[in-house]
Amino acid sequence: MPFAQSLARASLSRLAATATLVLLGAVPALPAQNAIPRSSGVGGFGIFALAAYSGRTNFFASGPPLIGAISRPVTTSVFAAPDELKAAAALVGGEVNYTFANTRTQLFALGSLEDVFQLDVAIQLGVRQELPDKSIATVNAIVTPFPQKLWVDPYVEFAVRDFDKVNFPGFRLGWSRILGTGLELTFTDRFFVFDAEQSGQWLVGQGRLDPDDVDLLDRNGDNLSFQTGYHFRAGRHRFEPSVTYARDNRDGAAVSSDGFGARLNYRYLDPRFAIDANLGYAQRDHDAIHPLYGERVSRDRVGGSITAAVPIELLGSKKWNLWASAEYIREDSNVDFFESRLSALTLGIGWRGLRQ
């Protein structure tokens, strides 16, 4: 499975450092949980950060927001785990919205920093609607104006691999504050469209793979995920446990998979500082035996993150926050070639000058 896609679609999709959670309560990480304002007008926030990434992957090459690559263009063995590479990144996130107070409707354009942290530069365009029971329904389209770069054929040895530009648009449905509680449900569907998918073609040319087995490795398709979470409050402490089921429907059965995951988010909000921490685990089993390795691929993913933020005055305004984060995600597999790692150290600023 492609590194960025695999991480971003699993139950740890919210595991990377979520700076939007810790801007002292001014910026919602989960917009659907944020109350729609009582007056009409423009709202939003903006976040910018610089990050140092370290990654290991045999599938993902590069692409926004990375400045550089975290995968070598040449691999010496399709049976070896990937080498480690480092890259810098410029991360930009935020939201602009407009509220129609009379109808309790809000239109928004969102660039989620949670997704950007996991190398998923997507823009969400949608609408939030407060329902009669005060719960909030959200519908939004997901577009990817900046394609990622994955290897056209990741199984090439001792030669420079070409990269393929990959788009993964989709849509998301959300329902939060259900029956006046902290319960939230989210359904997401993302579609992966490769320009020139050729997984396994090099092995066929080398006589190491039967041509009839190439279709088992086709990475085009879609990923479905269903997440349920619950928000608890205890003074300045916030807890959100969640569980996720994910189904990866690729055209190739050997790279399709499904499984469950769990995540726990903790926040501490204080006028002087804020802390956000995450722990997560996910497990995936592939549908069919991989024709190269002779067994079904299985993957276990663990990770965690911590973010801290403090208010600062900048350019004569007190509507800024300074924050720093550290995150780590590790994916182990029974097939070494599929193992991956992603870690990052990040320093950023957040602006909440628009009405919330």
Give the model's pLDDT for residue 121.
80
Highest mean pLDDT of the ranges 4-8, 122-126, 214-218: 214-218
Q: How much is the average pLDDT of 274-288?
A: 95
pLDDT, tens digit, for every residue of 242-264? 999 999 999 999 999 999 999 99
Spatial separation of the C-alpha atoms in residues 287 and 275, rounded to whole Å:
39
Q: Which residue has the higher pLDDT, 81 or 271?
A: 81
Residue 160 has pLDDT above 60, yes or no: yes
Spatial separation of the C-alpha atoms in residues 36 and 40, rounded to whole Å:
10
Residue 222 has pLDDT above 50, yes or no: yes
Residue 6 has pLDDT above 90, yes or no: no
Residue 266 has pLDDT above 60, yes or no: yes
pLDDT, tens digit, for every residue of 91-148? 888 889 999 999 999 999 988 766 776 677 889 999 999 999 999 999 999 998 888 8
Residue 13 has pLDDT above 70, yes or no: no
Contact between residue 322 and residue 313 where contact means Cβ atoms under 8 Å apart: no
Give the model's pLDDT for residue 93.
84
Give the model's pLDDT for residue 19.
35
Residue 5 has pLDDT above 90, yes or no: no
Q: How much is the average pLDDT of 298-303?
A: 96
Task: Write 126-130 long-range contacts (CB < 8 A, 24+).
Answer: 126/172, 128/31, 128/32, 128/36, 129/104, 129/105, 130/36, 130/104, 130/105
Give the model's pLDDT for residue 335.
97
Query: Which of the residue ranges 170-179, 234-243, 283-292, 315-324 would you say has the lowest mean pLDDT?
Result: 315-324
Residue 339 has pLDDT above 60, yes or no: yes
Which residue type does 139 have? V
Q: Which residue has the higher pLDDT, 18 or 165?
A: 165
Give the model's pLDDT for residue 69.
84
Q: How much is the average pLDDT of 182-194?
A: 94
pLDDT tier at 25, thresholds 50, 70, 90: very low
Residue 316 has pLDDT above 50, yes or no: yes
Structural domains of the chain in order of their starting residue, each with its CATH number = 3-351 (2.40.160)
Give the model's pLDDT for residue 165.
87
Give the model's pLDDT for residue 118.
66
Give the model's pLDDT for residue 113.
67
Mean pLDDT (the chain) is 87
* Whole-number percent of the chain with pLDDT over 90: 68
Residue 14 has pLDDT above 70, yes or no: no
Q: How much is the average pLDDT of 277-303?
A: 96
Give the model's pLDDT for residue 3.
40
pLDDT, tens digit, for every residue of 28-84? 333 334 578 888 999 888 888 999 999 999 998 888 888 888 889 999 999 999 999
